[in-house]
A = this chain, B = another copy of it.
């Protein structure tokens, strides 16, 4: 018996270029590990803008999507003067969650700098957790994915 694999897993992604800011570099002269949280956010916002799944799109549907999980793996360091490309990929899931995977590469030589993922849930404006996917998100998946989970 074959395991069901979602062929859509790498279908939707957005790329965003960033330049390292002086304030993002720490006293070891490398980008401070916490700055990557903002890079992930930059990537997520670029995705949201490209595919209509940004904070404001979600809010227009009376939902908020707070993060419940974030994992970061640091492979190499960025330094001041570097540019990088953040690739943010939507990971489909049957759960009422928005999952993104991130890959940050140095622009000059494509070196892998960091990877990670975030998981967001849906909360209504009374801050109650939604256990099943809101209709707008189901509609979004049907529109953007071939065989949504």
Residues of chain A having any CB pair with chain B under 8 Å: 19, 21-23, 25-30, 32-34, 37-38, 41-42, 45, 55-56, 64, 66-75, 77, 80-81
Q: A26-B26, A33-B37 are in contact. Are A42 and B66 (CB under 8 A)?
A: no
Q: In the complex this chain forms, how many copies of it are found?
A: 4
The main secondary structure of chain A at its interface with chain B is: mixed
Residues of B within 8 A of A22 (CB): 26-27, 41, 45, 55
Min CB distance A122 to B, Å, is 13
Check A45–B72 contact: CB distance below 8 A: no
From A27, A34, A45, A80, name the one whose CB has the most chain B CB atoms within 10 angstroms. A27
From A22, A45, A68, name the one whose CB has the most chain B CB atoms within 10 angstroms. A22
Q: A22-B41, A23-B26, A38-B34 are in contact. Are A81 and B68 (CB under 8 A)?
A: no
Which of B28, B38, B67, B72 sits near A64, CB closer than 8 Å?
B28
Check A41–B56 contact: CB distance below 8 A: no
Instruction: Report Cα–Cα, A68/B23, bound state, in Å.
Output: 16
Check A70–B33 contact: CB distance below 8 A: yes
